[in-house]
């Protein structure tokens, strides 16, 4: 994402106006009283706020023009829902709204498709989470969120996991001035362990000690997944002979595995 570009969506960001707090309050009163033109002036005067927010998403590889437009939607929603009777700065209220709008856009446009019902549960869970944080000044547990939604805990966990952004295995998570440590360095491989590697070596070594016919039967049975009858048909002997040769070969293999 390029943030040093001067023009975004046809807007020259170097010439954007900046409103003072008193000017914003005055304009908000006039907007809510229906005065024409005030809304456009207010939006233009807060586009710098949108720019500051979208910089937080500079590692997503998204088009800056797209994020700017989505951020403007969040800004306009903030104007429509802002309560002047509360002693809160507009920017304090608008920033979470703009961030929320951008996050919804990123989730909905994620290359990993998530069902609408699952996304709805996740968004409701996030809303409940924010409300409980504001009410109790502490992070709620998943159980508390699930209770508010009247849903099983597992459904909430699954929904929240489904909307998480995918992480690259090559994303650096630590840097001490030397070599970086990546996500893949912290993932355990449960399939290719040293024990499995040594076991594979011993299996190959044991197979090499077998007679050609025994080796062929074990390959067809356990590597190609064929039945004893299919093996018998393929090599031209009876199923009983295949069974006998297989047992003998496995008995020999036990000495090496």
Distance CA(240)–CA(253), nearest Å, equals: 20
Question: Is 159 exposed, middle or buried (CB count within 10 Å of its CB: 0-12, 13-18, 19+)?
Answer: buried
Give 13's strand partners: none
Contact in structure between 239 and 232 (CB atoms under 8 Å): yes
Beta 172-175 vs 180-182: how paired, if at all? antiparallel
Tokens for 36?
Answer: 């024409």
CB atoms within 10 A of CB 126: 17
For the entire predicted model, the pTM comes to 0.44
For the chain, domains (ranges, CATH) are 1-108 (1.20.120.1810), 110-179 (1.10.10.10), 194-253 (1.10.10.10)
d(CA 72, CA 102): 10
Backbone angles phi, psi at 84, to 5 degrees: -70, -20
Count of CB atoms situated within 10 Å of the CB of 124: 16
Residue by residue, pLDDT tens for the chain (257 residues) are 444 555 676 677 777 888 888 888 888 889 888 888 888 899 888 888 898 888 888 766 677 888 888 989 999 998 888 888 877 888 888 888 888 888 888 877 665 555 677 778 888 888 888 888 888 888 888 899 999 999 988 888 888 877 665 555 555 555 555 555 555 555 555 555 555 555 666 677 778 888 888 889 888 888 888 888 888 888 888 888 888 888 888 888 777 65
CA gap 106, 73 in Å, rounded: 14
């Amino acid at each position: 994402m390029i943030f040093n570009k001067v023009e975004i969506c046809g807007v020259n960001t170097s010439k954007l106006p900046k409103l003072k707090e008193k000017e914003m309050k005055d304009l908000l009163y006039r907007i809510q009283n229906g005065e024409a033109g005030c809304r456009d002036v207010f939006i233009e005067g807060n586009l710098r706020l949108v720019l500051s927010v979208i910089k937080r998403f500079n590692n997503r590889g998204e088009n800056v023009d797209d994020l700017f437009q989505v951020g403007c939607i969040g800004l306009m929603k903030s104007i429509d829902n802002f309560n002047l009777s509360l002693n809160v700065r507009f920017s304090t209220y608008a920033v979470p709204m703009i961030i929320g709008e951008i996050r919804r856009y990123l989730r909905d446009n994620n290359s990993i498709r998530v069902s609408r019902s699952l996304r709805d549960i996740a968004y409701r869970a996030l809303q409940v989470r924010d409300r409980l944080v504001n009410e109790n000044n502490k992070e709620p547990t998943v159980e508390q969120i699930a209770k508010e939604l009247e849903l099983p805990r597992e459904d909430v966990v699954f929904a929240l996991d489904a909307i998480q952004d995918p992480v690259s295995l090559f994303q650096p998570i630590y840097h001490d001035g030397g070599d970086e440590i990546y996500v893949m360095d912290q993932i355990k491989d449960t399939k290719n362990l040293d024990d499995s590697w040594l076991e594979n070596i011993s299996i190959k070594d044991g197979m090499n000690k077998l007679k050609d016919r025994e080796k062929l039967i074990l390959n067809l049975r356990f590597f190609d997944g064929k039945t004893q009858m299919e093996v018998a048909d393929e090599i031209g002997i009876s199923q009983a002979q295949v069974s006998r040769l297989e047992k003998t070969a496995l008995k020999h293999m036990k000495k090496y595995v």
